[in-house]
Chains A and B, each alone.
Chain A
Amino acid sequence: MNFSEVFKLSNQLSKFSPNGKFLASCVQYRLVVRDVSTLQVLQLYTCLDQIQHLEWSADSLFILCAMYKRGLVQVWSLEQPEWHCKIDEGSAGLVASCWSPDGRHILNTTEFHLRITVWSLCTKSVSYIKYPKACQQGISFTKDGRYMALAERRDCKDFISLFVCSDWQLLRHFDTDTQDLAGIEWAPNGCVLAAWDSCLEYKVLLYSLDGRLLSTYSAYEWSLGIKTIAWSPSSQFLAIGSYDEKVRILNHVTWKMITDFGHTTTINNPKIVVYKETEKSQNLEMENLPFPPTKAAASSLFNTESKYEVVSTPVSLQTSKPVTDRPNPKIGIGILAFSPDNCFLATRNDNIPNAVWIWDIQKLKLFVVLEHLSAVRSFQWDPQQARLAMCTGRSQVYLWSRAGCVAVQVPVEGDFQVLSLCWHLSGESMALLSKDQLCLCYLENEGVK
């Protein structure tokens, strides 16, 4: 594994281009575009204000920079650096901005979710979509970019609108039997839309592309319900993570639950491999420590390296008891992710925050548990193979694959707390983001299957 030098970053805004050639990162109000292989600065753009959101267009030709405070969106062209485009929402304000799948329209969500403005870069025309729902995931595009599903709320009732992205024709509009629609997501095959209710009610609705209700699923009532949802890449399974610390898997044929994965605090099954992150013992030479301590020395003192160790079952995991009288408790399945080959599902149970659970989907059983010293912040699967990269806020990046797992220290002077990470589409490199720094990590793929 090779690590690049460290670059400045703000707001953890760094994205690879969809074609994998470029890396865009934000430093305050500047947009820096680098070449991925050489990390040379190719373009440098300056925006009018601090950038809050950064997004590549699907064809990797344009980059969108949104500045919510000013209500501005600026679009930059990679091919023609002198080309510029500025969209001002004015008094309407701006809370969200995204590209359409064709890379020629920008959808701005105005403040208070009053409307969505669709700006066309081709025709300079504007379209409005009224009453969008202010929820966790209100817009979803199909994988092929043909259709868009939008959650709406009118007169205290939830609706879903399906649009054809090519000409923004409203294809279907139907109401949903939800109390408070929290999110919608297309299946990867683009034929089924999953809609789920807020956590006050456990309900998942499945709609066909033509707007028919296919099925409804509700596991229980009264207790807090769905927290996260994930489709498997083949569209065969829908994983529902809920506040009762369980993941329920629905199958695409009958839309009924085939199994549920419980996240218990003790693991007794000896067939499950449990990796525990342990600190490597350091030899401190107390006499040679300089006074006052240099930054490097201080960081080396506090930044102890760690490695994975296999622990034999029964294992009892570290739990954090959530405060029950606060809203949005840190309990239940907070993160769900399928591996690209459909073989594994990685989950995090928020009240066992240090552990990542990896489930074998072929056998529908728990496969591996990785317990870390700090709370897991994020993890992401390699887009090409079943390899999971995790970060916990320490200066290490953790990798797991069927062959084993490894904890790699980011060899940076000073403190580099990896807060999030992002894979390159080829699976050969990864961007590690800390609070104000960016580091690229290159993986050698010869030894890894």
Chain B
Amino acid sequence: MGDWRTITVPIPSSESKNISQFTSEANMSPSNLYSQQILCASLPLAKNVHNFFRAFCTEENVDQSISYLDQEQLETSRREMIGLQERDRQLQGKNRNLHQLLKNEKDEVQKLQNIISSRATQYNHDMKRKEREYNKLKERLHQLVMNKKDKKTAMDILNCVGRADGKRGAWRTGKTEARNEEEMYKILLSDYEQRQKQILLENAELKKVLQQMKKEMISLLTPQKQKPKEKAEDSSGTVLSDVEEDTSELSKENMWELSCETVREQLTNSIRKQWRILKSHVEKLDNQVSRVHLRGFKDEEVISRQDHEQETEKLELEIQQCKEMIQTQQQLLQQFTACDDDTSSLLQDCYLLEEKERLEEEWALFKEQKKNFDKERRSFTEAAIRLGLERQAFEEDRAGWLKQQFLTMTSFDHKNSENGKPQSAFSESSDQDNLTLHSEPSVCTSKITKSLPASPSTSELFQTVQHISENRKTRNIHQSTKFAW
């Protein structure tokens, strides 16, 4: 609730408004006021209500009395009070101003008095001095009058000195006077001529500067012609015409170096024109800038502003989307990283297991392949051994058969014709055998090489087969040699 400072219940008059001349400085809570507003009647109070109020309003039930106040009247009274306060302030201000004025006037009066007094002292002093001089004069005059036979003013000089310039002194005549006048005027004239030269130089420099300025201003303004502004078109038009005028002027000026009134006026006028145009242009720009800062603007700006706004909206959307994406990603990441240690380790294990399994599979595959390769190798080596053995056996058989044949051939030496064919047949067959033998290992080798291209065992195999075939060859050779003789 509030603090009460003063409570004065007004003496009621016939006016119902006076009820509001109730001065109190109560700070009431808004809720309280509201409730009170609800409670209070909006009807104007009658006289009897005043009396009733007077009787009614004591310190204890001030709150209740307030509820009976008419809010409207309170408002009007408040307004009146504010008005009166304002007037009071104004009057105080006026009072202060008047005081200040009074003070200024007093100061000035004091100053003037000081001046007057100092002047007066100076006057008095001068007057006194004059009086003293006057007195001295009087005395001296008196003396002179008394001493007529006083020392005469005289110059006592040993000998006359020659003139400084060595010439003889001349009598003062009319001629000399005229000459002096002439000389004086000559001096003055030369001084004026010198000054005029200086001024001309300055003038020329200033003119140059002005023309330069004008050119620069024109160059500044002509690019504006491209913008569709009504006034600018006019100005550019005038600019162009000015440029034409001015260039002709310029050329004129440069040629003749005129400094007459009209040329000067033209130059200054054209510069003023340009300057005005430039100024108006700058002012326009300023206005535009200020308008852009505020609310209202031209049609062109509307579009650009709208575009601008759209662009900004788009960008904002984009930003929003990106943000959302980042958020979701963050969430996901968090999901991953936000689990307990067990699950994470488990997850990790799962990954490892997966990999392990994959690796094991591959390993198994590899092992299988290896096994297959080994099997094949073994089978091949076995085959090669078998083949070797068979060949050995075959060779032995052949050797035996050949022996037998030989033996039979020798026994049949008598019967050469019959053995001729078998010999040749035998040689043929031996050749064939050789051939076949040659071909076999090659076939074998080719077979072998075809099936197992690159395993080391294969190469070993090949070597052994070669060796065997070489043995066979040698044997054959031996045998053949045997047979040859």
Contact B191 A325 (CB under 8 A): no
Contact B159 A83 (CB under 8 A): yes
Please encode chain B, from 148 to 184, with 1 for each CB lying within 8 Å of some chain A CB and 0 for all others.
0011111111111111110001101000110011011
Q: Are A200 and B180 CB-contacts (below 8 A) given A122-B169, A210-B185?
A: no
Binds A, one of B110-118, B313-321, B363-371, B379-387: B110-118
Q: Which residues of A contact B161 (CB under 8 A)?
A: 62, 77, 104, 121-122
Contact A326 B150 (CB under 8 A): no
Q: How far is the CB of B143 from chain A (nearest CB, A)?
A: 8
Please encode chain B, from 104 to 143, with 1 for each CB lying within 8 Å of some chain A CB and 0 for all others.
0000000010110111011111100000010011001001
Within 8 Å by CB of A325, from B118, B170, B176, lies B118
Contact B191 A88 (CB under 8 A): no
Contact A89 B153 (CB under 8 A): yes
Binds B, one of A5-13, A111-119, A265-273, A294-302: A111-119
Q: Which residues of A contact B118 (CB under 8 A)?
A: 224, 324-325, 329
Give bound CA distance, A121 to B195, whole Å.
39
Give bound CA distance, A58 to B163, whole Å.
13
Give bound CA distance, A123 to B155, whole Å.
11
Interface assignment of B81: CB less than 8 Å from any CB of chain A:
no
Q: How far is the CB of A15 from chain B (nearest CB, A)?
A: 19
Q: Which residues of B contact A58 (CB under 8 A)?
A: 164
Q: Which residues of B contact A77 (CB under 8 A)?
A: 161
Q: Which residues of B contact A111 (CB under 8 A)?
A: 140
Q: Which residues of A contact B126 (CB under 8 A)?
A: 327
Q: Which residues of A contact B302 (CB under 8 A)?
A: none
Give bound CA distance, A325 to B122, whole Å.
9
Contact B180 A164 (CB under 8 A): yes
CB under 8 Å from chain B, chain A span 162-200:
164, 166-169, 171, 189-191, 199-200
Contact A325 B121 (CB under 8 A): yes
Contact B115 A124 (CB under 8 A): no
Q: How far is the CB of B199 from chain A (nearest CB, A)?
A: 8
Interface assignment of B322: CB less than 8 Å from any CB of chain A:
no
Q: Which residues of B contact A86 (CB under 8 A)?
A: 155-157
Interface assignment of A84: CB less than 8 Å from any CB of chain B:
yes
Q: Are A121 and B160 CB-contacts (below 8 A) given A169-B177, A169-B180?
A: yes
Q: Closest residue to B163 on the A side, CB-wise?
A: A122
Q: Which residues of B contact A121 (CB under 8 A)?
A: 157, 160-161
Interface assignment of A315: CB less than 8 Å from any CB of chain B:
no
Please encode chain A, from 79 to 118, with 1 for each CB lying within 8 Å of some chain B CB and 0 for all others.
0001111111111110000000011100000011000010
Contact A167 B170 (CB under 8 A): yes
Interface assignment of A222: CB less than 8 Å from any CB of chain B:
yes
Q: Which residues of B contact A327 (CB under 8 A)?
A: 121-122, 124-126
Contact A167 B158 (CB under 8 A): no
Q: Which residues of B contact A324 (CB under 8 A)?
A: 114, 117-118
Interface assignment of A311: CB less than 8 Å from any CB of chain B:
no
Give bound CA distance, A191 to B192, whole Å.
9
Q: Which residues of A contact B176 (CB under 8 A)?
A: 167, 169
Contact A92 B153 (CB under 8 A): yes
Interface assignment of A406: CB less than 8 Å from any CB of chain B:
no
Contact A103 B156 (CB under 8 A): no
Give bound CA distance, A121 to B162, whole Å.
8
Contact A223 B115 (CB under 8 A): yes
Q: Which residues of A contact B121 (CB under 8 A)?
A: 325-327
Please encode chain A, from 248 to 259, with 1 for each CB lying within 8 Å of some chain B CB and 0 for all others.
000001000000
Interface assignment of A208: CB less than 8 Å from any CB of chain B:
yes
Q: Closest residue to A209 on the B side, CB-wise?
A: B188
Q: Which residues of B contact A85 (CB under 8 A)?
A: 155-158
Q: Which residues of A contact B210 (CB under 8 A)?
A: none
Interface assignment of B407: CB less than 8 Å from any CB of chain A:
no
Contact B133 A90 (CB under 8 A): no
Interface assignment of B39: CB less than 8 Å from any CB of chain A:
no
Give bound CA distance, A443 to B148, whole Å.
57
Q: How far is the CB of B1 from chain A (nearest CB, A)?
A: 58
Query: Which of B126, B143, B160: most chain A Cβ within 10 A?
Result: B160
Q: Which residues of B contact A224 (CB under 8 A)?
A: 118-119, 122
Q: Closest residue to A142 on the B side, CB-wise?
A: B187
Query: Which of A58, A82, A117, A123: most chain B Cβ within 10 A?
Result: A123
Q: Closest residue to A325 on the B side, CB-wise?
A: B121
Give bound CA distance, A445 to B159, whole Å.
44
Interface assignment of A279: CB less than 8 Å from any CB of chain B:
no
Q: How far is the CB of B97 from chain A (nearest CB, A)?
A: 28
Q: Which residues of B contact A82 (CB under 8 A)?
A: 158
Please encode chain A, from 302 to 335, with 1 for each CB lying within 8 Å of some chain B CB and 0 for all others.
0000000000000000000000111111000000
Give bound CA distance, A190 to B183, whole Å.
13
Interface assignment of B435: CB less than 8 Å from any CB of chain A:
no
Q: Closest residue to A252 on the B side, CB-wise?
A: B195
Give bound CA distance, A178 to B199, whole Å.
32
Q: Closest residue to B133 on the A side, CB-wise?
A: A112
Q: How far is the CB of A107 from chain B (nearest CB, A)?
A: 13
Q: Which residues of A contact B209 (CB under 8 A)?
A: none
Q: Which residues of A contact B181 (CB under 8 A)?
A: 171
Within 8 Å by CB of B158, from A83, A89, A171, lies A83
Q: Are A88 and B155 CB-contacts (below 8 A) given A222-B115, A223-B115?
A: yes
Interface assignment of A444: CB less than 8 Å from any CB of chain B:
no
Contact A88 B180 (CB under 8 A): no
Q: Which residues of B contact A169 (CB under 8 A)?
A: 172, 176-177, 180
Q: Closest residue to A80 on the B side, CB-wise?
A: B158
Within 8 Å by CB of A171, from B122, B155, B180, lies B180
Q: Which residues of B contact A88 (CB under 8 A)?
A: 151, 153-156
Q: Can you spell out 28 A-B residue pairs with CB atoms less than 8 angstroms apart?
A: A82-B158, A83-B158, A83-B159, A87-B154, A90-B151, A90-B152, A90-B154, A91-B150, A91-B153, A103-B164, A112-B136, A112-B140, A121-B160, A123-B160, A124-B155, A124-B157, A124-B160, A166-B180, A171-B180, A190-B191, A200-B119, A208-B188, A222-B112, A224-B119, A253-B195, A325-B121, A327-B125, A328-B122
